[in-house]
A = this chain, B = another copy of it.
Amino acid sequence: MFFQFIDILGTIAFAISGALVAMNKRMDPFGVLIIAFVTAAGGGTLRDVMIGIEPVSWMKNMTFVYVVMSSAFFAVLFRKRINYLRKSLFLFDTIGIALYTVVGVETGIIAGLHPLICIALGTMTACFGGVLRDMLCNEIPVVFRKEIYATACILGAITYVVLSFFYEDKSILYVISGLVVITIRLVAVRFQISLPTLYNEEEGKDAL
Contacts and interface: CB of A to CB of B under 8 A. Distances in A.
A144 B111 contact: no
**Size category of the binding interface on chain A:** 35 or more
A119 B45 CA distance: 18
A77 to B, nearest CB: 10
Interface of chain A, main secondary structure: helix
Contact of A26 (B30, B60, B136, B207): B207
B199 A26 contact: yes
Interface stretch (A2-10, A48-56, A164-172, A181-189): A48-56
Interface string A148-172: 0011001000000000000000000
A201 interface: no
Contacts of A60: 113-114
Q: State the oligomeric state as a number of copies.
A: 3
A62 interface: yes
Interface of A: 22-23, 25-32, 34-35, 45, 49-52, 54-56, 59-60, 62, 65, 76, 79, 111, 113-114, 116-117, 131, 135-141, 143-147, 150-151, 154, 195, 197-199, 204, 207
16 contacts: A26-B204, A28-B145, A28-B147, A28-B195, A28-B197, A29-B195, A29-B198, A30-B147, A30-B154, A31-B144, A51-B59, A52-B52, A59-B114, A59-B117, A79-B198, A138-B139
